[in-house]
């Protein structure tokens, strides 16, 4: 039973935190309406989310466990269809998830991420030099000039994406996270994505390199798996992959699964890191006392990253999960079999039951700063979490070392991206101030 009337999720993410508080207050799960009129259960309490995220009765496979998708009641015309229509590890369930996650995991091991530190430091240094050389004294947009550029170069290099594909992919990814677009715009964007991805895969087949895309393609091309979603009872691939990404890293993938896995990996690796870097910079710029704690050695840059993840998760909601069978949430609320579930990662970060009455305040010394769900939890925990944390810690440390007097340009609240999924600043205008003396 549900004791509240459903309310509509704001497609443009106008005030996601107020919305999340409302979800928490209404119980362990509450009915909401998603863009396009799709009904779902929203879950906003940290404890309830943690329980559901490891519950085997919760699936992410719309093709198997969402009756409205299976019947065609909700289909490709839904503006958010791409979030459930892709066939990769993020939408898989059970043994299928294990099969699809295995090859992707080779790209984002902790060892591989640590090995990228020298390149991250190098790119950050180049970007800071570019900022210093601008020397105008006016405001610069750190989202465009800094936070955007770092993960773009790292992730696109990691996957060997040629530069001629960068601009089209950025445009497509931005539309991917724009949850206010029309069905027609969403379908056009999906078609554009198909063209760009076909070009990328064809390019890397002709010109293989030392990158994850080439490794996935090479392994895929040696496999004989049919290009359809396999039956869940078929045997999973047994090949393992070294940290280099070589070997049978993509064995067992269909062509669609190959493409959809690539979409997931470099889309998630880009968008979340941009938002995270912006949040960390913004919070320290508007809370100089918190920056002083770090400079005094009372908190680390890694503490900054965790508190930024807690207070403003790079992805606010997770679309979608489905009840494999009825799930009793307590307090008289039952999520029915086949019902879609919306997980509010952003709500978990400000749950007062976990973080106290001042959960809305940025505090690098907060004891619970690491107790967030910003990279998920359980089997679907984000593979790129280590890389995103590393990129952010290096970027923020180097920025404040280079521009110690940097300040926000102007007062007032900054605009945020128009999305209820992606959670970040639309821009971050900053006056850099004088550059710190360069050590001999």
Structural domain contains residue 223: yes
- The C-alpha atoms of residue 168 and residue 193 are separated, in whole angstroms, by 9
21-58 b/e with 16+ CB inside 10 Å = b?
bbbbebbbbbbbebbbebebbbbbbbebbbbbbeeeeb
| Number of compact structural domains in the chain | 1
Structural domain contains residue 18: yes
Structural domain contains residue 440: no
State the catalytic residues: 268, 271, 273, 382, 391
Question: pTM for the complete prediction?
Answer: 0.89
Q: Tens of pLDDT along 286-308?
A: 999 999 999 999 999 999 999 99
Tokens for 190, please give them: 């999906």
Structural domain contains residue 438: no
Structural domain contains residue 150: yes
Q: Tens of pLDDT along 380-419?
A: 888 889 999 999 999 999 999 999 999 999 878 899 999 9
In terms of pLDDT, which residue wins out, 225 or 232?
225
- The C-alpha atoms of residue 309 and residue 286 are separated, in whole angstroms, by 16
Confidence of residue 228 (pLDDT cuts 50, 70, 90): very low
In terms of pLDDT, which residue wins out, 15 or 233?
15
The range of the structural domain enclosing residue 158 comes to 7-431
Q: Tens of pLDDT along 338-351?
A: 999 999 999 999 99
Give me the CATH number covering residue 250.
1.10.630.10
Structural domain contains residue 247: yes
> Does residue 242 surpass a pLDDT of 80?
no
Nearest to 68 by CA among 344, 337, 420: 337
Structural domain contains residue 306: yes
Structural domain contains residue 314: yes
Tokens for 409, please give them: 């340009």
> Does residue 50 surpass a pLDDT of 60?
yes
393-418 b/e with 16+ CB inside 10 Å = b?
bbbbbbbbebbeebebbeeeebebbb
């Amino acid at each position: 039973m549900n004791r509240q009337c459903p309310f509509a999720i704001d497609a443009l993410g106008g005030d996601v935190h107020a919305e999340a508080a409302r979800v928490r207050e209404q119980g362990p799960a509450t009915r909401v309406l998603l863009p396009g009129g799709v009904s779902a259960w929203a879950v906003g309490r940290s404890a309830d989310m943690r329980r559901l995220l490891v519950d085997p009765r919760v699936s992410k496979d719309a093709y198997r466990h969402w009756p409205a998708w299976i019947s065609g009641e909700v289909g490709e015309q839904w503006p958010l269809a791409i979030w459930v229509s892709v066939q990769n590890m993020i939408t898989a369930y059970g043994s299928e998830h294990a099969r699809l996650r295995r090859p992707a995991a080779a790209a984002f091991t902790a060892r591989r991420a640590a090995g990228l530190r020298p390149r991250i430091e190098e790119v950050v240094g180049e970007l800071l030099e570019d900022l210093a050389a601008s020397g105008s004294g006016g405001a610069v947009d750190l989202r465009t000039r800094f936070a955007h550029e770092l993960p773009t170069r790292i992730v696109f290099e990691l996957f060997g994406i040629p530069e001629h594909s960068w601009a089209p992919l950025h445009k497509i990814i931005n539309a991917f996270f724009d949850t206010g677009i029309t069905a027609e715009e969403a379908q056009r964007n999906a078609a554009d994505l198909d063209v760009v991805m076909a070009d990328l895969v064809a390019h890397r087949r002709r010109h293989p390199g030392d990158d994850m895309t080439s490794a996935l393609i090479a392994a895929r091309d040696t496999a004989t798996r049919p290009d359809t979603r396999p039956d869940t009872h078929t045997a999973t691939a047994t090949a393992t992959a070294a940290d280099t990404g070589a070997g049978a890293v993509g064995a067992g993938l269909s062509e669609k699964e190959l493409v959809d896995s690539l979409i997931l990996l470099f889309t998630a690796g880009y968008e979340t890191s941009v938002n995270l870097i912006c949040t960390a910079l913004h919070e320290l710029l508007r809370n100089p006392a918190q920056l002083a704690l770090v400079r005094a050695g009372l908190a680390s840059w890694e503490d900054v990253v965790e508190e930024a993840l807690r207070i403003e998760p790079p992805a606010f909601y997770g679309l979608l999960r489905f009840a494999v069978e009825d799930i009793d949430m307590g307090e008289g609320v039952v999520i029915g079999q086949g019902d879609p579930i919306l997980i509010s990662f952003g709500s978990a970060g400000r749950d007062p039951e976990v973080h106290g009455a001042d959960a809305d305040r940025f505090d690098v010394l907060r004891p619970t700063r690491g107790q967030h769900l910003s990279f998920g939890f359980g089997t679907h925990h984000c593979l790129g979490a280590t890389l995103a944390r590393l990129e952010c810690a290096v970027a923020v440390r180097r920025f404040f070392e280079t521009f110690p007097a940097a300040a926000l340009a102007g007062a007032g609240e900054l605009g945020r991206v128009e999305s209820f999924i992606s959670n970040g600043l639309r821009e971050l205008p900053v006056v850099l101030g004088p550059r710190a003396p360069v050590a001999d």
